[in-house]
Amino acid sequence: MKISPYAYILVMAAVTYLIRMIPLALVKKEITSPFVKSFLYYVPYACLAAMTFPAILSATASIWSALAGFIVALIAAYQEQSLLKVALLACTAVFITERAMAFFI
């Protein structure tokens, strides 16, 4: 028997929502343990860093354009530019690198 696409979609959506909702809505206590508080303080940095590198290197059409985007973003972020500006500069670096490569290769 064929399972309806909507049954799959319902199950996917329900499981995904519950995983997000249960810890957020049901943990009512304010945590006092210094270890847990420090752990949670570091979680976003560890998480974002792990998601960024090395994934960024395979995000674009070529590793060279990705590397250009990575370096430009690093510099702009180091200068504390806004999120949008860093993102746009990285996109521009990728674009220029790929155009240049198409021109020369």
Partner 1 sequence: MNRKEWYTKGLKDGIPIAMGYFAVSFTFGMMAVSGGLTIGQAVLISLTNLTSAGQFAGLDIMIAQGSLWEMVLTELIINLRYCLMSFSLSQKLVRDEPWAHRFLVSFGVTDEIFGVSASQPGKVSPFYNYGMMTVAIPGWSLGTLVGGISGSLLPDFLVSALSVAIYGMFLAVIIPPAKKSPSVSGVVIGAMLISTLFAFAPVLNQVSSGFVIIITTVIVAGLAALIAPVPEEE
Contact status: 47 vs partner 1 (CB under 8 A): yes
Phi-psi domain of 91 (left: phi exceeds 0; alpha: psi -120 through 50; beta: other): alpha
Peptide linkage before 34 cis (omega within 30 of 0): no
The correct pick among 25, 103, 104, 105 for binding partner 1 (CB under 8 A) is 25
Query: Which residue of 63, 64, 94, 100 would you call a contact of partner 1, by CB under 8 A?
Result: 94
Site map 64..93 versus partner 1, x via CB under 8 A: -xx--xx-xxx-xxx-xxxxxxxxxxxxxx
Q: Check binding of 3 to partner 1 (CB under 8 A).
A: yes
Q: Minimum Å distance from CB 92 to partner 1?
A: 8
Supply 87's token pair.
């993102």
Judged by CB under 8 A, does residue 13 bind partner 1?
yes
Minimum distance from CB of 97 to partner 1 (Å)?
9
The single residue listed with the structure tokens 């028997």 is 1
